[in-house]
Amino acid sequence: MALQSMTGFARHASRQGSRRIIWEVKSVNGKGLDARFRLPPGLESVEQGARALVSSRFSRGNFQASLAIEQEEGCQRAVINEPLLAELVAVAERLRAEYGLSPPTPEGLLSLRGVLDLPQSVDTPEQREALEEAILSTLDGTLAALEAARRAEGDALSVIIIRHVDQISALAEQARGDPARSADAIRARLAAQVSLLMEAGPGLDEARLFTEAAFLAARADIQEELDRLDAHVVQARKLIAEGGSIGRRLDFLSQEFNREANTLCSKSNAASISAIGLELKAVVDQFREQVQNLE
């Protein structure tokens, strides 16, 4: 199953009788699933079905969906209130005769309130049901297009995320094979530290100093952190291969990666290991930034 981004946009339109139905839906990152609808007056009844369609296709993201209904030109007929118009013409003629006013124009008369009306058609229950079905069907097509857009972006993100996982694995391997972790290097550091302490205090017990230094060196060992990094890399690759809604789990793994990188830096007693740890932290930050875009 492919990965899916949480960001995308889709627009889809259809016709139902003399009407044109237009849906626009966009989604952005979100911790959960949140859908908000902008519907024309009188069509609030479709929201429940629309919300069910969104939740049937997506599990995460903030969605904004807007519906527009356009009436086909030529389907509406103007209705003129002729009794009112005749009365207004008569009043206008009387005022013109008494006060010398200009004669009324057709445009002026038709613009008066109540003279001209463009009545909205009234649907029968059957027509209303057909309209609502068409609205939801059009929304389903829009959501399918949005899902395709989110999957396309998810494919692009997966390439980046896999590259970050590979970098994390390579850095862990680099730290594991760093010369500073060899037995000879550790022995040399211990000897140098004991020598400095012996010079500072000639009365100190050399055997005791070696014991304490060896204990500190053991505490500074990063093998456990490297093993956990390897295990997290395996888990990340497994999740990406499975696909689906894995954004939350990969985000959790990013926190685990970051924890091991921090510990590696704090325990390191060699500059080369510290440099690897800092680079590892930078890659983990990039990894987390990308996985937070996934559903």
CATH of the domain at 195: 1.20.140
Beta bridge mates, 38: 66
More confident of the two residues 207 and 212? 207
16 and 147 in a single domain? The answer is: yes
| Contact (CB, 8 A) for 1 and 29 | no
pLDDT at 141: 97
State how many domains the chain has: 3
Based on the domain organization, do 94 and 140 belong to the same domain? Answer: no
| CA–CA gap between residue 9 and residue 65 (Å, rounded) | 10
Q: Which of 184, 263, 279, 265 is CA-nearest to residue 228?
A: 263
Q: Judge if 199 and 281 occupy the same domain.
A: yes
How many CB atoms sit inside 10 A of residue 93's CB? Answer: 13
Q: Which residues contact 221 (CB under 8 A, 6 or more apart)?
A: 267
- Bridge partners, residue 28, by sequence: 62
pLDDT digits (tens, 9 = 90+) for 216-235: 555 557 888 999 999 999 99
**What is the C-alpha to C-alpha distance for residues 252 and 103, in angstroms, rounded to an integer?**
79
Which residues form the domain of 65?
8-74+124-151
Q: DSSP labels for 112-146?
A: STTTEE-PPP---HHHHHHHHHHHHHHHHHHHHHH
2, part of any domain: no
193: in domain: yes
Residues 84, 199: Cα–Cα separation, whole Å: 115
Distance CA(70)–CA(118), nearest Å, equals 15
The answer to whether residue 3 sits within a structural domain is no
> Residues 174, 217: one domain?
yes
Asked if 111 and 88 count as a contact pair (C-beta separation under 8 A), the reply is: no
Average pLDDT value for residue range 247-267: 92
Same domain, residue pair 54 and 95: no
Same domain, 183 and 61: no
Do 35 and 95 share a domain, yes or no? Answer: no
The DSSP secondary-structure symbol of 99 reads H
Strand residue runs (E) in the chain:
8-16, 19-28, 33-38, 61-71, 79-80, 116-117
Token pair recorded at residue 3: 């990965």
**Is 274 a residue whose pLDDT tops 70?**
yes
Sorting pLDDT into bands at 50, 70 and 90, what band is 272? Answer: confident
* 232 and 262 co-located in one domain: yes
Within a 10 A sphere around the Cβ of 83, how many other Cβ atoms? 8
pLDDT in tens, 139-162: 999 999 999 999 999 999 999 999
What CATH number is associated with residue 40? Answer: 3.30.230.70
| Residue 1 domain flag | no
The verdict on 192 and 143 lying in the same domain is no
Would you say 229 and 284 are in contact if contact means Cβ atoms under 8 Å apart? Answer: no
Identify whether residues 14 and 145 lie together within a single domain.
Answer: yes
Residues 6+ apart with CB under 8 A from 71: 18, 19
Residues 129 and 244 in one domain: no
* Mean of pLDDT values over 19-45: 94
- Residue of 166, 140, 148, 156 lying closest to 55 (CA atoms): 140
pLDDT at residue 96, rounded to an integer: 80
Confidence of residue 35 (pLDDT cuts 50, 70, 90): very high
The crossing angle, in degrees rounded to 10, of helices 125-176 and 47-57 is 30
Angle at 294 between CA 292 and CA 7, to 5 degrees: 100
Say yes or no: 285 and 167 in one domain. Answer: yes
Q: For 230-255, what is the mean pLDDT?
A: 95
Which amino acid appears at position 17 of this protein? G
- Residue 205: inside a domain: yes
